[in-house]
Amino acid sequence: MAAVLGLAAIALVSVPGTASAHAVLLSTTPNGFQLLDSAPSEVTMRFSESIDVSLAEVRLIGPGGTNVDGVSKPAHAAAAPDTIAATLPANLAKGTYTVTYRVTSADSHPVEGAFAFSVGTVTGGVAENSRPASAGAGVSLLYGLARWLAYAALALMIGTAFFAAVCWPGGESSTGIRRILWAGWATLLGATLASLALYGPSVAGGSPLDPALLGATLGSRIGVVLLVRLMVLGLLAVAMVRLRRIVPFTAHSPADLRRRAAIVLGIGVALVVTWGLANHSAAGSGALLALPVDAIHLLAMAIWLGGLPVLLGVLLRSGDVPGMRAAVPVFSQIALICVLVLVVTGTYQAWREVGTPAALFGTSYGLVLAAKVGMVVVLVVLGAYARKWVQRHYAFEIVTVSDKRRAKRGPEKQEIGRFRRMVAVEVVVAAAVLGATASLVNAEPAAAELARIREEAAIPQRSGPVNTVLPFDAGGGPAGTGKLAVLVTPGKVGRNEVHLAALDSNGRPKQVAELRAELSLPSRGIGPLPVDMRFLGGDHAIGTNAPITMPGMWELSVTVRTSEIDQAVLRVPVGAR
């Protein structure tokens, strides 16, 4: 089984993945780096998926680097869920403005960024203080802990209930079972309330005690999902109290076991859906398939991993030999089925979020996923040893009187102790698996992270003035050949000057009909942006407002026209930081 899981992990990254479930800015109005004659009345931004505006923030930073007051709270534009708009104050002064934004995508994750536009003249690029305020390390740590506790409590509740209902009929009357169920319920309730209080500060920054952030969270999609989870927990508490007054099931008929399993699975589905609606599964083009797959994956994980603490802490300590003989082999079979389900659903989920070996081993999401797969392989190996132990001590065929005595007596105390230690290790590894799962839910999807890493890699490590001389041949014989001297200074983000000088083969000034220049950033699909050049004396041109607006390897495209029909285009790389 470990080999099967390992092969599945390899297969899931050897095929192309689907589009990442993470919002990406597609277009803006004004366009990024656009030079406008007059100030706009609003800005709009269109993303690759629907946006939750409850905790959205848009700021405007002026040419001097200070915040501009009067920007409205963003709202959906023209009832389009993937587009937001914010009204700007009137009478903006001339210069370059930076728009910063932080929004929440359909997968409940914050997406932030900035773009610039200029009114009348270009005075610089994206402001240095354009990054929105982020959550403190303490808030992020507490929110991560709340997510982990929620997963652990979910597994504890569902796994315990399924173990008692299907594997150990009559076990629901055990005090230990009831304590674990209520401990799981209380932990999940507390973790959900903590998530409600911490989600807003983790996305938008600020204090968990801020009523405005809590109100915004309650109005967001994840807030609604968490409220639904609280309602389900409330109904479940009522059901658990009422069930204590009912005589426990003692029948062992297949119909009774199926009814028990259906009740627990129904409750489990009602809970796990609240996770799927608030993570990557709810976003992207494959959400209709991803949501049920995610629910099945989480349910299988909860039944398997959540049953281990019951086996370790209740059944193996109870001394109930008939109960052990009935429950342990059944749980072993169910755990095997859960593993197979996890392999299939996990392969699909990872293919959807990762898709390529580069994304698996080159991103934080991929590394956490690889670590999770490794821990699951360890669990499967431990489970295989446990399964052999179960077959040796409980699943043997009773033929002789000696077999009957052995079945009634059960394994020796020393053997039970060895088995408990093995299960204890499984519980520890299972807790780590749940931690990895909680991290993946809040992590940036691998495909989105890989795209960002590749964009950052395109930013040059060094920047500065460009001073070069390039030969050109515009055609038309000797009159169309020569050299072009190019100077770009300071070669950094912001306002730059471009000097162009046409020279003949001996380095003397050469008369040409026109010198024209444009800037573009191929890695981001920006440009070409025309550079306003002043043509001086027929051999020299100067541009004093070349708009290098963000870090990257820019390209200066210079057109040298020597006659009405003869021209050459030269391309000069300009690295800027």
Per-residue H/E/C for 363-392: CHHHHHHHHHHHHHHHHHHHHHHHHHHHHH
417-430 pLDDT, tens digit each: 888 888 888 888 88
Per-residue model confidence as pLDDT tens digits over 21-30 = 456 777 888 8
Residue ranges of the domains in the chain?
Answer: 19-119, 137-447, 466-576
Helices within 354-492 (DSSP H only): 357-361, 364-393, 401-409, 413-442, 446-457
Q: What is the pLDDT of residues 463-476, one digit of tens each?
A: 788 888 899 998 88
Residue pLDDT, tens place only, 365-389: 778 888 888 888 888 888 888 888 8
Q: Around Cβ 138, how many Cβ atoms within 10 Å?
A: 10
The two domains 19-119 and 466-576 share their CATH topology (first three levels equal)? yes
CATH class of 19-119: mainly beta
- pLDDT exceeds 70 at position 560: yes
Cα 206 to Cα 82, 100, 200: the distances in Å are 26, 17, 8
* Distance from C-alpha of 262 to C-alpha of 165, rounded to nearest angstrom: 10
Dump pLDDT digits (tens) for 93-138: 888 888 888 888 776 777 777 778 888 877 755 555 555 555 567 8
**Nearest CA to 572 among 475, 474, 489?**
489
Q: What is the CATH number of domain 466-576?
A: 2.60.40.1930
Cα 142–chain centre separation:
18
pLDDT band at 18 (very low <50, low <70, confident <90, very high): very low
pTM of the model: 0.68
Q: Which residues contact 369 (CB under 8 A, 6 or more apart)?
A: 350, 353, 354, 360, 436, 440, 446
